């Protein structure tokens, strides 16, 4: 019997995009692992496996020889999530970053001094007015040898391990390239330093590359430090959400309120919330009133007044009053926990545009190794170089080292995920929860937005306006029958009917054989007689309207018809109000030249009234869930990129079928679990915000990919000496190391620039 489990773990030793590919492929080959993916931007692996066939120990036996390790603490899918785990990982990451900083602070001044000396020496050979270095060359080479040895074997130990792994297992990554380049430079220089006579015997130019070893390793380490520091900042939005999780709560036990750890709180507990305290769980206010700051959850700056009967969510801040709440959702079931989970999953998902970079990165390192070897061979053996063997060999070695050093798949590997991480985190801060990177990418391409009406465009809190009886039943009797039927439904129109009956203290009869007629209404037996409360279309298809009774609906009214087996007994009119932000949201979407469609279960006239009022292009009324789904498919068949915005159970099929499903958090759990994005507080203005945010993210992604590809397309031929026959240009390996170090940093910094854009 299979026991499937899905976990997300931190990975130790992941230094580049190629590492991520090696880790994923290696884990996929472990027996019992059904799926494995690794992510360089977050240094995590997501693994689905059969617990009866494998475990973490077996997986690490596969990874450790390659220089990687899965850390034992589960970060996301653990049953009992320890809030300190994230803090522990952050602490470990900070320690690693501090260690890198200390190494850089040691090596960088040395590298800069050596670099300036190298440039001074080159300048003194070209310009007579610049004096030569004021110390003997033999002394300077001895100093460089000592410094290069320390930096190569201490700071470059990771590159040496990557070389050993490559020799033993044939697995290469970015560190392998740096290790090969600097290793070749160091060993060649050691050989020339200790055995200069042999160099002369073989006709080799006595060119030493200790300075290259020092400069390349120092600047690569400096680049890695800047990259790591920048990458930590990309996840700050998620970290800020995690910090909102409260560790303790004041729970009533007996006559007192006792402070308990949050994992000891149970559903149904009565909790006291003091002014200035964060709310620990999702709950219902049972007493007191206060202003609540929900900005950290919804992105809304204005506090909301909460009174008895209102719902409050974990992580929000109680500003000025004392509240007593009854715990409804705790732990992983709270909205905050689900937001954290959703943001984590989104940050560890891949957008379609990222697959291109992944494919390139997977073949990048072996391709570069081949190019480096061909570069050396070309300089030595290719006809037309017209250089003495000793000089062409020296040039060949220099160019080979430069190719190995300058090539960098990290910029490609970071181009998309860093921008996506910043984008998903920024969206969460604005109250837009995006489930995966693919949805974030799709949003900027949306050409049509389809809206549900009730609860999406409108408040979803309609009120009963009129009851018109066509029979001998009084309005109170009609309301009693209608409310009894609707008491079993969660539709907003049903709530309006039931609330009206409760307000008039009407007792509700027992209903037998209740049926929910999808998209049409409800039916059931009351005192052995069958009744229907249904749409106009259903009613008129079943019975004829009484001729002696006139009824004219007002614009915007929704109609519910009460029927028995023979006649239409009455019509109930219900009116809903537009949300405050609906008109502004529609206007903003129209400015983006997006086609707007409204689908509603209401009668066609009501749908058309709302559409005309708002300026929506197309309105279709009296639609069932399957018809909403069919409309989405129809639009997609016309090559439209469709976003569906809805809130109800009946919207779920359409939300799932759309290119991007957007659910209102004020709606049903089914809608939110089906959709690819959720808008907190149901603010429609966030739809346009999400689309614009996606455009900003994709703009940065394209910039990153362009520069990442351009860097390698130009840099590798330049390093190989391809321009030397035409322009006499050769790239010193030291410059190659500096360029490689800053290529990844530039991509991450460009992604971080999004944070400024998303604040506006």
Q: Which domain holds residue 13?
A: 4-79
Contact in structure between 531 and 497 (CB atoms under 8 Å): no
**Is the pLDDT confidence value at 201 over 80?**
no
Looking at the DSSP bridge assignments, the partners of residue 618 are: 597
Q: Which two tokens stand for residue 380?
A: 């030595």
Domain count, the chain: 4
Global pTM? 0.66
Are residues 492 and 460 in contact, defined by beta-carbon separation less than 8 angstroms?
A: yes
Beta bridge partner(s), residue 283: 312, 327
Please tell me whether residue 575 adopts helix, strand or coil conformation: strand
- Per residue in 676-689, pLDDT (tens digit) is 888 887 789 999 99
Residue 204 in any domain: the answer is: no
User: Taking a C-beta distance cutoff of 8 angstroms, is the pair 554, 572 a contact?
Assistant: no
Residue 511 lies in a domain: yes
Residues 591 and 654 in one domain: yes
Give the number of other Cβ atoms within 10 Å of residue 563's Cβ: 20
Show Cβ contacts of residue 755 under 8 Å, excluding neighbours closer than 6 positions.
Answer: 233, 422, 426
The answer to whether position 261 is within a domain reads no
H or E, element range at 603: none
**Is residue 383 predicted with pLDDT exceeding 90?**
no
Catalytic residues: 452
626: in domain: yes
CATH number at residue 668: 3.40.50.1000
Strand-by-strand arrangement of the 463-469 sheet: 463-469, 568-575, 557-563, 529-534, 521-526, 512-517
Q: Are residue 446 and residue 582 in the same domain, yes or no?
A: yes
Query: 712 and 408 in contact (C-beta within 8 Å)?
Result: yes
Pairwise CA distance, residues 708 & 702, whole Å: 10
Report if residue 150 sits inside a domain: no
Which residues fall within 8 angstroms of residue 133, CB to CB, at 6 or more apart?
Answer: 117, 120, 121, 124, 140
The whole-number pLDDT of residue 230 equals: 62
Domain-embedded: residue 363: no
One domain, residues 440 and 488: no
In this structure, is residue 282 part of a structural domain? yes
Q: pLDDT tier at 325 (50, 70, 90 boundaries)? A: very high
CATH code of the domain in which 30 resides: 3.30.70.100
pLDDT grade for 162, boundaries at 50, 70 and 90: confident
* Residue 398 Cα to chain centre, angstroms: 42
Q: Are residues 592 and 545 in the same domain?
A: no
Domain end residue (candidates: 79, 106, 137): 79
pLDDT of residue 134: 75
Do 485 and 566 fall into the same domain? yes
Phi, psi of 752 (to 5 degrees): -65, -25
Q: Which of 558, 575, 592 is the last residue of a domain?
A: 575
Top-confidence range, 56-65, 387-396, 485-494, 664-673: 56-65
Q: How many CB atoms lie within 10 A of CB 627?
A: 16
- pLDDT tens track for 34-77: 888 888 767 888 898 988 888 888 999 889 888 888 887 544 34
What is the SS3 assignment for 679? strand
Mean pLDDT rounded to a whole number for the chain:
82
Helices (H), 430-564: 437-443, 475-486, 492-503, 536-542
Contact 532, 542 (CB under 8 A): yes
What CATH code is carried by the domain that includes residue 480?
Answer: 3.40.1110.10
591 CB-near residues (< 8 Å, 6+ apart): none
Residues 503 and 639 in one domain: no
% the chain with pLDDT above 70: 85
pLDDT in tens, 272-294: 998 888 899 999 999 998 988 87
Measured CA to CA, the distance from residue 546 to residue 568 in angstroms comes to 7
Phi, psi of 504 (to 5 degrees): -95, 10
d(CA 93, CA 352): 29
Query: Of 286, 304, 329, which residue sits at a domain end?
Result: 329
Whether residue 555 contacts residue 459, with contact meaning beta carbons closer than 8 Å, is answered with no
* Cβ 465 vs Cβ 557: under 8 Å: yes
Domain containing residue 294: CATH number = 2.70.150.10
Which of 158-167, 233-242, 545-554, 741-750 is predicted least confidently? Answer: 233-242
441 and 514 together in one domain: no
Q: Tell me the mean pLDDT in the region 429-445.
A: 85
- Spell 599-616 as b/e; 16+ CB within 10 A means b: bbbbbebbbbbbbeebeb
Residues 489 and 452 grouped into a single domain = no
Q: Are residues 589 and 673 in the same domain?
A: yes
Q: What values do phi and psi take at 26, rounded to 5?
A: -65, -45
pLDDT in tens, 113-133: 888 887 787 677 767 778 877
**Residues 516 and 616 placed together within one structural domain of the fold:** no
Give pLDDT tens digits for 329-343: 888 788 777 777 766
The conformational region for residue 66 under phi > 0 = left, psi -120 to 50 = alpha, else beta, is: alpha
Q: Given pLDDT bands bounded at 50, 70 and 90, which one contains residue 189?
A: confident
Give me the torsion for CA of 36, 427, 227, 709, rounded to 10°. Answer: 80
Closest CA to 217 of 159, 170, 281: 159
**SS3 assignment, position 562:** strand
User: DSSP letter at 458?
Assistant: B
**Residue 699: inside a domain:** no
Crossing angle of helices 410-429 and 733-759, in 10° steps, is: 10
Asked if residue 619 and residue 491 are part of one domain, the reply reads: no
Residue 153 confidence (pLDDT) above 90? yes
Instruction: Report the pLDDT averaged over residues 731-744.
Output: 70
State the pLDDT at residue 77.
Answer: 40
- CA-closest candidate to residue 721, choices 340, 406, 312: 406
* Model confidence at 393: pLDDT above 90: no
Which residues, at least 6 apart from 257, have a Cβ–Cβ distance to it below 8 Å? Answer: 250, 251, 272
Q: In Å, how far are 448, 457, 616, 643, 701 from 691, measured between CA atoms? A: 12, 18, 18, 10, 15
pLDDT for residue 147 is more than 90:
yes
Q: Do both 588 and 553 map to the same domain?
A: no
Cα-based distances in Å from 201 to 205, 206, 251, 421, 494: 10, 11, 86, 57, 98
- Residue 505's region, left for phi above 0, alpha for psi from -120 to 50, else beta, is left
CB 343 within 8 A of CB 428: yes
Query: Within 13 Å of residue 261, how many CA atoms lie on the same side as its CB?
Result: 5
**Phi, psi for residue 540 in degrees, rounded to 5:** -75, -20
* Mean pLDDT for the stretch of residues 352-360: 64
């Amino acid at each position: 019997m299979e026991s499937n489990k899905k976990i997300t773990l931190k990975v130790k030793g992941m230094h580049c995009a190629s590492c991520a590919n090696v880790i994923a492929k290696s884990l996929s080959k472990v027996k019992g692992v059904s799926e494995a993916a690794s992510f360089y931007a977050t240094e995590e692996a997501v693994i689905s496996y059969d617990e009866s066939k494998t475990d973490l120990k077996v997986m690490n036996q596969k990874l450790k020889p390659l220089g990687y390790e899965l850390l034992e603490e589960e970060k996301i899918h653990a049953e009992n999530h320890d809030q300190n785990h994230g803090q522990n990982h952050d602490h470990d990451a900070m320690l690693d970053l501090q260690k890198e900083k200390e190494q850089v602070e040691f090596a960088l001044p040395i590298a800069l001094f050596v670099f300036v000396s190298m440039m001074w020496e080159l300048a003194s050979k070209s310009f007579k007015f610049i004096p030569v270095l004021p110390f003997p060359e033999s002394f300077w080479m001895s100093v460089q040898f000592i410094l290069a040895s320390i930096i190569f074997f201490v700071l470059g130990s990771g590159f040496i391990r990557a070389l050993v792994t490559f020799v033993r297992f044939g697995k290469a990554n970015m560190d392998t390239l740096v290790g090969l380049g600097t290793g070749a430079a160091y060993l060649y220089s050691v050989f020339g330093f200790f055995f200069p006579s042999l160099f002369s015997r073989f006709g080799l130019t006595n060119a030493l590359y200790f300075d290259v070893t020092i400069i390349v390793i120092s600047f690569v380490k400096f680049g890695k430090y800047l990259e790591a520091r920048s990458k930590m900042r990309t996840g700050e939005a998620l970290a800020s959400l995690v910090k909102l999780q409260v560790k303790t709560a004041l729970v009533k036990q007996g006559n007192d309120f006792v402070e308990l750890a949050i994992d000891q709180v149970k559903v149904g507990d009565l909790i006291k919330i003091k002014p200035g305290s964060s709310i620990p769980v999702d709950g219902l206010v049972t007493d007191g009133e206060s202003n609540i700051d929900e900005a950290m959850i919804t992105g809304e700056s204005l506090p909301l007044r909460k009174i008895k009967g209102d719902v409050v969510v974990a992580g929000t801040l109680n500003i000025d009053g004392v509240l007593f709440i009854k715990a409804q959702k705790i732990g992983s079931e709270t909205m905050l926990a689900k937001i954290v989970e959703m943001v984590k999953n989104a940050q560890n998902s891949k957008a379609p545009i990222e697959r291109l970079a992944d494919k390139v990165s997977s073949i990048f390192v072996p391709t570069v190794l081949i190019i480096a070897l061909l570069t050396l061979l070309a300089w030595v053996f290719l006809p037309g170089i017209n250089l003495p063997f000793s000089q062409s060999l020296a040039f060949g070695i220099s160019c080979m080292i430069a190719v190995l050093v300058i090539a960098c798949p990290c910029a490609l590997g970071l181009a998309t995920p860093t921008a996506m991480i910043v984008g998903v985190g920024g969206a969460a801060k604005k109250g837009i929860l995006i489930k995966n990177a693919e949805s974030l990418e799709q949003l900027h391409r949306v050409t049509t937005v389809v809206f549900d009406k009730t609860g999406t465009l409108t408040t979803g809190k309609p009120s009963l306006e009129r009851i018109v009886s066509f029979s001998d039943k009084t309005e109170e009797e009609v309301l009693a029958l209608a409310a009894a039927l609707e008491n079993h439904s969660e539709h907003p129109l049903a709530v309006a009917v039931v609330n009206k009956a409760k307000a008039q203290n009407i007792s509700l009869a027992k209903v037998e054989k209740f049926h929910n007629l999808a998209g049409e209404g409800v039916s059931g037996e009351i005192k052995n007689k069958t009744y229907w409360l249904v749409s106009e279309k259903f009613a008129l298809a079943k019975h004829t309207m009484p001729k002696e009774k006139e009824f004219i609906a007002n614009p915007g009214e929704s109609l519910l018809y009460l029927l028995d087996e023979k006649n239409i007994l009455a019509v109930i009119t219900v009116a809903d109000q537009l949300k405050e932000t609906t008109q502004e949201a529609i206007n903003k979407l129209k400015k983006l030249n997006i086609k707007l469609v409204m689908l509603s279960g209401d009668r066609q006239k009501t749908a058309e009234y709302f559409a005309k009022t708002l300026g929506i292009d197309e309105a279709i009324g009296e639609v069932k869930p399957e018809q909403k789904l069919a409309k989405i498919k129809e639009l997609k068949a016309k090559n439209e990129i469709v976003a569906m915005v809805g809130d109800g159970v009946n919207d779920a099929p359409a939300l799932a079928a759309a290119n991007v499903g957007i659910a209102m958090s004020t709606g049903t759990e089914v809608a939110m679990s089906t959709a690819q994005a959720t808008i907190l507080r149901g603010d429609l203005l966030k739809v346009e915000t999400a689309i614009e945010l996606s455009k900003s993210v994709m703009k940065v992604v394209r910039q990153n990919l362009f520069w990442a590809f351009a860097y390698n397309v130009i840099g590798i031929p330049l390093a190989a000496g391809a321009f030397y026959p035409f322009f006499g240009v050769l790239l010193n390996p030291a410059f190659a190391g500096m360029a490689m170090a800053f290529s990844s940093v530039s991509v991450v910094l460009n992604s971080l620039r999004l944070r400024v854009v998303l604040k506006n």
